[in-house]
Amino acid sequence: MALIVQKYGGTSVGSVERIQNVAERVIETYQQGNEVVVVVSAMGKSTDHLIELANNISDSPSKRELDLLVSTGEQISMSLLAMAIQQRGYDAVSLTGWQAGIKTEAVHGNARIMDIDPKRINGELATGKIVIVAGFQGITENEEIATLGRGGSDTTAVALAASLKAEKCEIYTDVTGVFTTDPRVVKGARKLEAISYDEMLELANLGAGVLHPRSVEFAKNYDVPLEVRSSIDKETGTRIEEEVEMEGNLMVRGIAFEDNVTKVTVHGLPDGMATLSTLFTTLSNHHINVDIIIQNTNGNQSTDISFSVDSVALQETLEVLSQHQSQLNFEQVSYEGDLAKVSIVGSGMISNPGVAAKMFDVLARDQIKVKMVSTSEIKVSTIVDSSSMITAIECLHDAFELEARKPVSTV
């Protein structure tokens, strides 16, 4: 008897009708002789609605109380799904994060899972029950409810699969798998049969919204086989595993993108070994995430450092830099908004140095100006104007023949 962990996202449980559909899918898996643990998100946009209610009450709601509030969204989903399964004559039990033994660090709103005690879940499975667990939440050492932040239900599912030593973890969503890029942007985007942990982690970190990066990292660390599938259609999804054979020798597996990027430049910093460390330590201490970094050394023993941030964090970034100007000893700060990041990802790039050159050549031919660049063994990211983002995605998808199953020349 195999143990399967399934996760259903907010759109998959967004209505009574969809919850009934999920109940049928879960029972079908159970009827195949499997033990089943199901992780659910909150219904549709209910978490956003709860946050809106909190903001209508308070300009600055307590993070503890906010966690208590938003954690109820998943509890509604889990209870309704358990009822739907019971209505069909099958035994099911719903568990909150703390009832399921999920222990987190004491960080409200963005906690990490520290440990899972699977005793309660194993006990319920032993009696033949289907176990439904509220995603996105756990309990701290001081018995406070804490939520896991964006994508927390994905992480809950993968962590449970690792703890329970499940045969695999199935992530059910409103798409049929992982595509070469967002099919809503490029109509010719192709669903991948399989993708490696490393490639999926890069895509997730670079803006692909199918899986949260933390869940992919968990899966890689604990060797949990993942499959992304549709909660509506029953076609085969995309496998995410350690080693994946390249489809048709494609060196680029997919294209990720995100807009709302701002480039910040700090001018006239002292040209010394400690400059980078001091600047980015200061930003890190204020929890400002910095992405692509470029350093330009001037002839007058000073340096300019540019970096990209999420546009939402721009105002805070400028305030932190202003507060620490005397310590950092820079001249001025400038910034450029309305930017986007477009990235190509593929493990085949490691042994094919011509891929990056081809990317820049394609963008140049379409007169798309590249403002910043970042590379790793399996990705190349570029910062471009937001107005050029869709064109960049489309021309790169076409140039690397991601709709086709044949080798691509990088010459």
Each residue's pLDDT tens digit, 66-102: 999 999 999 999 999 999 999 999 999 999 999 999 9
Per residue in 168-186, pLDDT (tens digit) is 999 999 889 999 999 989 9
The answer, yes or no, to whether residue 248 has pLDDT greater than 70, is no
For the stretch 322-369, pLDDT in tens is 999 999 999 999 999 999 999 999 988 877 778 999 999 999 999 999
pLDDT of residue 219: 95
Report which of 31, 33, 42 is spatially closest to residue 8, judged by C-alpha positions. Answer: 42
Give the residues across from 8 on adjacent strands: 40, 172
Q: Please tell me the predicted confidence (pLDDT) of residue 247.
A: 57
Strands 92-95 and 130-134: parallel
* Comparison of pLDDT for 244 and 252, the residue scoring more: 252
Whether 42 shows a pLDDT value over 70: the answer reads yes
Name the helix (H) or strand (E) containing 314.
Answer: helix 314-323
Q: Provide the pLDDT for residue 232.
A: 87
> How far is the CA of 174 from the CAs of 7, 8, 282, 385, 403, in angstroms?
12, 9, 40, 30, 21
Q: What is the pLDDT of residue 249?
A: 52
Neighbouring CB atoms inside 10 A of 301's CB total 9
- Alpha helix stretches (DSSP H) within 324-372: 325-328, 354-365
Using an 8 Å Cβ cutoff, are 132 and 38 in contact? Answer: yes
Which strand (E) or helix (H) includes residue 38? strand 35-40
Chain segment 269-302, per-residue pLDDT in tens: 998 778 889 999 999 999 899 999 999 888 778 8
* Measured distance CA(213)–CA(230) in Å, rounded: 19
* pLDDT tens sequence across 221-238: 999 999 999 998 889 999
Identify which of 167, 138, 124, 158 has the alpha carbon closest to the alpha carbon of residue 34: 167
Residue pointed to by tokens 């798409």: 175
Q: What is the pLDDT of residue 411?
A: 42
Give the phi and the psi of residue 307 in degrees, each rounded to 5.
-150, 160
**What share of the chain in percent tops pLDDT 70?**
97
d(CA 398, CA 403): 7
In sign, the C-alpha dihedral spanning 136, 139, 144, 149 is negative
User: What domains are there in the chain, each with its CATH number?
Assistant: 3-174 (3.40.1160.10), 245-411 (3.30.2130.10)
Segment 129-150 shows an average pLDDT of: 96
Strand (E) or helix (H) holding 390: helix 389-399
SS3 18: helix
